[in-house]
């Protein structure tokens, strides 16, 4: 009851739209995706450049769980829209801003807030209350600890944590779950330690 699905919308086979959810125009939702109570998908972006009548697009993949009161805004004319991949889990009260590109099997816990133009690669986990500033990029298999603020890019395969999230170590548990060997993890850890360890010079120096 009271679900609203606007025109120019595609809903895939087996999808579920719960009560009081709203699916806005120019939104595509994939197969077997579930949209729970009160979620808002594809609403116009919070961007002063958007004017009434401008088309803005949102694409949600297959097998995505969009939990209660999630908001996902559509893209601006600056991009091809907001895109969320397959098999993602977006939990209660999370927000995905305009023009974001979210990969496959991404987990956003309760109250995660993602600003516009953010790119998140496959198998990323964002713990509860994480804030991601606009234009940040988060590499695949990364893990960001709860209540962290992400203002810069996050390395793939790494754990970041802190009020202003910083690199801590490699995401060993996540890598093991996805089939990385001990040799793989040792190689990643060696490279990251060489760059972010206590060596001489700045990080930029060590990257050279």
Please, which residues have CB within 8 angstroms of residue 45's CB and are 6 or more apart in sequence?
56, 73, 74, 75, 76, 97, 98, 99, 116
As beta bridge partners, residue 169 has 159
186 is catalytic: no
For residues 116 and 100, is the Cβ–Cβ distance under 8 A? yes
For residues 85 and 122, is the Cβ–Cβ distance under 8 A? yes
Residue with tokens 């889990």: 89
Of the residues 73, 75, 97, 98, only one is catalytic, namely 98
* Residue of 74, 89, 85, 2 whose CA lies nearest to 37: 2
* Residue of 171, 200, 203 whose CA lies nearest to 185: 171
CB-facing half-sphere around the CA of 51: CA atoms within 13 A: 0
Ramachandran region, residue 123 (left: φ > 0; alpha: ψ -120 to 50; beta: rest)? left
Of the residues 116, 117, 122, 174, only one is catalytic, namely 116
Of the residues 62, 86, 87, 99, only one is catalytic, namely 99
**Cα of 116 vs its chain's centroid, Å:** 11
* Cβ neighbours of 133 (radius 10 Å): 15
Question: Which residues are known to be catalytic?
Answer: 98-99, 116
């Amino acid at each position: 009851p009271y679900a609203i699905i606007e025109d120019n919308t595609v809903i895939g086979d087996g999808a579920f739209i719960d009560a009081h959810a709203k699916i806005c125009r120019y939104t595509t939702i994939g197969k077997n995706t579930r949209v729970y109570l009160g979620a808002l998908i594809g609403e116009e972006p919070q961007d002063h450049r958007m004017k009434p009548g401008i088309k803005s697009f949102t694409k949600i993949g297959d097998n995505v769980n969009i939990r209660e009161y999630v908001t996902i805004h559509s893209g601006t004319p600056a991009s091809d829209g907001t895109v969320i991949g397959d098999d993602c889990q977006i939990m209660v009260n999370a927000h995905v801003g305009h023009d974001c590109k979210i990969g496959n099997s991404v987990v956003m816990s309760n109250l995660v807030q993602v600003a516009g133009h953010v790119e998140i690669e496959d198998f990323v986990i964002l713990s509860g209350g994480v804030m991601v500033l606009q234009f940040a990029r988060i590499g695949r298999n990364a893990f960001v600890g709860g209540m962290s603020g992400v203002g810069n890019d996050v390395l793939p395969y790494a754990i970041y944590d802190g009020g202003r999230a910083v690199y801590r170590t490699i995401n060993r548990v996540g890598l093991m779950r996805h089939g990385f060997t001990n040799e793989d993890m040792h190689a990643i850890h060696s490279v990251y330690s060489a760059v972010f360890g206590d060596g001489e010079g700045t990080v930029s120096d060590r990257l050279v």
